[in-house]
Amino acid sequence: MISSRLISALLIVCLRSTEAVGQRNVTIDDEFGDEITQVVPSFMPLGGWTLRGGAKGFAKPDPSLTYNRTWHDATQHAGEIPKTVNFNFTGPSLYVYCIIANTPPGRSFDTSAHYNFFLDGKFVGTYIHDPQAIPDYFYDSLVYVNTTMENEHHSFSIILDAREKPVLMLFDYAVYTTIEQRSPTPSLSPTDSSEASDRPIIPSNAGVVRSNTLGVVALGFPMIAMLLPVVYL
């Protein structure tokens, strides 16, 4: 009884770990860009944003609590050219993180958040935060998440919406999930006609074994190793 439970538990572990293989989260930092492609988000209009608040930014979050100690700061007022963040990524999931301000000590400034999100040019959501009467910044605030996209190339835009009141954005980073494609197995299929006539006829089940070699090595070996003590008991 224990053995069969153990086997199914181990099997689940095996299946989970093989499922996760090839999935990876990639971070796009506001300043250093995509950790794979190094492409940096575009912050528009030019001159409308300051890196880490610069000299004129009132918001002073703790750099050590931000990703790569960097963020982009902008305030949008009604009637101004809309301030936007744009970046591209390829994958089925996206997580966007900002720093959210409340009522920091010192000179008061607008800290409301009202962001509109566009995926591949289509409006997909809004994030709103009204400042609380506390000094704290909220770090790693998830302002947008989507885990149900096609595993394709996507464009993503954030537009600051100041129609109701001035809006602050402290953009920190985004994370997307990539799925690495399996490397193509050497083609011995009938459609590969150029050399086919020279080849010996392969028994039909041989193809199955061949194409699953990696799977057998990856799954079969640990499974056999795990089953041995069970059989022994």
Ligand X SMILES: *[C@@H]1O[C@H](CO)[C@@H](O)[C@H](O)[C@H]1NC(C)=O
Binding stretches for ligand X (CB under 6 A): 23-25, 32, 39, 42, 68, 86-88, 95, 119, 124-125, 146, 148-150, 155, 175, 177
* Residue placing its CB nearer to ligand X in the complex, 145 or 230: 145
8 Å CB contact between 24 and 177: yes
The backbone torsions φ and ψ at residue 106, rounded to the nearest 5 degrees and listed phi first, read 95, -160
Instruction: Provide the 3-class DSSP secondary structure of residue 135.
Output: coil
Q: What is the CA radius of gyration of the chain?
A: 26
> Closer to ligand X at the Cβ: 2 or 20?
20
Q: In the complex with ligand X, which residue's Cβ is closer, 32 or 138?
A: 32
The whole-angstrom separation of Cα 129 and Cα 99 is 11
Host H or E run for residue 211: helix 204-211
Rounded CA separation 199/201 (Å) = 6
Residue 46 CB, nearest distance to ligand X (Å)? 13
Distance of closest approach, residue 118 Cβ to ligand X, in angstroms: 10
- Of the pair 87, 171, the CB lying nearest ligand X is at 87
Closer of 152 and 192 to ligand X (Cβ): 152
CB of 72 to ligand X, least distance (A): 13
Q: Measured between alpha carbons, how far is 139 from 172 in angstroms, rounded to an integer?
A: 9
How far apart are CB 18 and ligand X at their closest, in Å?
Answer: 13
Q: Least distance in Å: CB of 122 to ligand X?
A: 7
